[in-house]
């Protein structure tokens, strides 16, 4: 990936940060894109200190204006983009009967609409070079469902359909589009779950442990590499066997 430019959304912490670090370790230049600009700047600083060309960009991935502005900045700073990792995501959990319409809309906008908006801008740039790698972060709940996560599981299932359609639409331009579906990964997002829920989940994982951010970043880095050039429209499950 030496010299390639990677945009990683939600890279200020958690899985996105680990993906940014992994791609940087393989030689990519990194755009650390996050709603939380302070976190993004800190990650960009850490990467720069290790010799990576990195810059932080403040973005709200659910806003088309903000996404367009980010890609303008990417073009100004780096000249284009080779790799896009659509990682930013949120949860607003509750059972359907208690779920507020605004929680449905927020999750669908940040998790799913964002993939449409960011991919659209990136594909314009990638198509010119006839090369691109897009990796979308889905979730095991897209395949299994999960009580309390109607909005989240619908958004992640939507990502799977969108991934396959983008893969078919832009294969002829040398752009591959795949997804990674993590299971239960130890991050701030899962930290807030009640202990009894975590214990129950652990029982359903054949490999007997929760995943790490590195487990996810490794799969993402493979799909984002030139080596994965004959793989498109696929989902790699990183879940310890929780769903097969």
Name the residues annotated as catalytic: 152
Range 99-138, binding ligand NAP (CB under 6 A): 110, 137
Alpha helix stretches (DSSP H) within the chain: 14-25, 37-49, 64-78, 101-108, 114-129, 141-144, 150-170, 188-191, 195-203, 213-223
> The tokens of 220 are what?
């993402």
Which of 72, 130 has the CB closer to ligand NAP?
Answer: 72
Stretch that binds ligand NAP, among 47-55, 88-96, 197-205, 226-234 (CB under 6 A): 88-96
Selected binder of ligand NAP within 15, 32, 56, 57 (CB under 6 A): 15
Q: Let me know how long the chain is.
A: 244
> The tokens of 32 are what?
């650390």
Selected binder of ligand NAP within 1, 8, 14, 160 (CB under 6 A): 14
Which of 72, 226 has the CB closer to ligand NAP?
Answer: 72
Q: At what angle do helices 64-78 and 114-129 cross, to 10 degrees?
A: 30
Question: What pairs with residue 9 in β-bridges?
Answer: 33
The answer to whether residue 179 forms part of the interface with ligand NAP (CB under 6 A) is: no
Range 51-70, binding ligand NAP (CB under 6 A): 59-62
Rounded Cα gap, residues 119 and 224, in angstroms: 14
User: Which residues bind to ligand NAP, rule: CB under 6 A?
Assistant: 9-10, 12-16, 34-36, 39, 59-62, 87-90, 110, 137, 139, 182, 184-185, 187-190
């Amino acid at each position: 990936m030496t010299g390639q430019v990677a945009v990683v959304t939600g890279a200020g912490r958690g899985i996105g940060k680990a993906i940014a670090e992994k791609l940087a370790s393989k030689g990519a230049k990194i755009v650390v894109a996050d709603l939380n600009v302070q976190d993004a700047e800190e990650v960009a600083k850490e990467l720069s200190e290790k010799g990576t060309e990195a810059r932080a960009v403040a973005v709200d991935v659910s806003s088309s204006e903000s996404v367009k502005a980010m890609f303008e900045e990417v073009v100004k700073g780096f000249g284009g983009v080779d790799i896009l990792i659509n990682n930013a995501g949120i949860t607003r959990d509750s059972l359907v009967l208690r779920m507020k319409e605004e929680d449905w809309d927020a999750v669908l906008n940040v998790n799913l609409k964002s993939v449409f908006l960011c991919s659209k801008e990136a594909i314009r740039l990638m198509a010119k070079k006839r090369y691109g790698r897009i990796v979308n972060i889905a979730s095991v709940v897209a395949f299994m469902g999960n009580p309390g996560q109607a909005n989240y599981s619908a958004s992640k299932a939507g990502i799977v359909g969108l991934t396959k359609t983008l893969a078919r639409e832009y294969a002829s331009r040398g752009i591959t589009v795949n997804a990674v579906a993590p299971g239960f990964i130890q991050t701030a997002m899962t930290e807030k779950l009640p202990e009894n829920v975590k214990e129950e989940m652990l029982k359903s994982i054949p490999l007997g442990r929760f995943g790490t951010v590195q487990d996810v970043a490794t799969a993402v880095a493979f799909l984002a590499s030139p080596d994965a050039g004959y793989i498109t429209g696929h989902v790699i499950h990183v879940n310890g066997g929780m769903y097969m």
